[in-house]
Amino acid sequence: MAYFLQQLINGLSLGAIFGLIAIGYTMVYGIIGMINFAHGDIFMVGGFIAIIAFMVLGLLGITWVPLALLVMLAVAVAFTALYGWALERVAYRPLRNSGRLAPLISAIGMSIFLQNYVQLLQGARNKALGTPPISGGITLMDSAGFSVQLSYMQIIIIVSTVLLMAGFTYLINTTTLGRNQRACEQDMRMARLLGVDVDRTIALTFVMGASLAAVAGMVWLLYYGIIDFYVGFLAGIKAFTAAVLGGIGSLPGAMLGGLLIGLIEVFWSAYFSAEYKDVAAFGILVLVLVFRPTGLLGKPEVEKV
């Protein structure tokens, strides 16, 4: 029981990170109906910006952990949001009125560009954080010599995810920007006729998704203490799988899918073979899509005529 509880905590922590990335996929798809395959690399860029900010703060002698973390978060979100805005402006906006294939190829091209861009600037080696700024935790129970640990970093990940999910749900359901986003999702042309600035709304959606990816990149760095230029591809594919599993276009579905992918990975690694954890996750996705193609919380897409 203790071992199961420990893996449950680990799975929820990992799934919360996947969920944060998956929200970016589902927000963009919900408005323009296209998958941003460069979003995983935006997450990777956020992690690299966070580690650069951490190193600069160390050189400046800023060692008080709460202040250092706040500055890291602000810098990572600001610069990663700028990357998200540039991605929309360069790779999507010029191709918005073309077929679905052109923006898809453009997004894949931007993904490859960002991977190589970071590799050239930072090198191909893993970048380690060194001494983790947040350590320690709480012992929940001891059973037969096995201790169930809830680390402070895991608490931060879960609490931050819950707060961000609640904040974005409130923003989309009650604010003017949220109403504009929902209007663009239903009918972009009619929204434009009614005075909605469609270009601005889509750009802000990319910025919001990139900001969430920056938070995910920073907590990934703090949780694992290491990052490399290729991590965005792997985490991005799993987050995209989470978005599809939960129901692409649904924010609660993206978070639910992220939690499920994290739990499947961790429990499969703990009780079976860690080498096949990705096979298990994608196998569950295939089964869900066979029996429920819209995902767990997705709704059937109605074609407007």
Q: How many CB atoms lie within 10 A of CB 215?
A: 23
CA dihedral 238→24→111→53, nearest 10 degrees, is -100
What mean pLDDT, rounded, does the chain reach?
A: 88
Q: How far is CA 260 from the centre of its chain?
A: 14
Q: Are 32 and 92 in contact (CB under 8 A)?
A: yes
Residue labelled with tokens 């919360």: 16
Taking 70 as the threshold, does the pLDDT of residue 304 lie above it? Answer: no
At residue 204, the pLDDT reads 92
- pLDDT tens digit sequence for 239-288: 988 998 888 878 888 899 999 999 999 999 988 888 888 888 888 888 88
Give the CA dihedral 16, 17, 18, 24, nearest 10 degrees: 110
- Structural domain contains residue 274: no
Domain assignment present for residue 40? The answer is: yes
The answer as to whether 30 is a domain residue is yes
pLDDT at 26 over 60: yes
Mean predicted confidence (pLDDT) in 204-211: 92
Residue from 36, 229, 217 nearest 115 by CA: 229
Determine the average pLDDT of the residues in 139-158.
Answer: 85
Structural domain containing residue 212: 17-236
Q: Is residue 290 part of a domain?
A: no
Residue 181 within a domain: yes
Q: Percentage of residues in the chain with pLDDT exceeding 90?
A: 41
> Which band of pLDDT confidence, cut at 50, 70 and 90, is reported for residue 303?
low
User: What is the domain count for the chain?
Assistant: 1
Q: Is residue 24 a part of any domain in this protein?
A: yes
**Residues 201, 179: Cα–Cα separation, whole Å:** 10
Nearest residue to 36 (alpha-carbon basis) of 195, 228, 248: 248
Evaluate if residue 237 carries a pLDDT over 80: yes
How far is it, in rounded angstroms, from Cα 174 to Cα 210?
21
pLDDT digits (tens, 9 = 90+) for 58-107: 888 888 888 999 999 999 999 999 999 999 999 888 888 787 788 888 98
65-87 vs 39-60: helix crossing angle, rounded to 10? 140
Q: Residues near 226 by Cβ (< 8 Å), separated by ≥ 6? A: 126, 127, 128, 129
Does some domain include residue 247?
Answer: no
- Both tokens of 26, joined, read 């589902």
Report if residue 79 sits inside a domain: yes
**Cα→Cα distances 168→193, 209, 212, 255, Å:** 26, 10, 10, 12
Q: What is the pLDDT of residue 301?
A: 60
User: What does the DSSP 8-state code read for residue 89?
Assistant: I
Q: Position 212: which residue type?
A: L
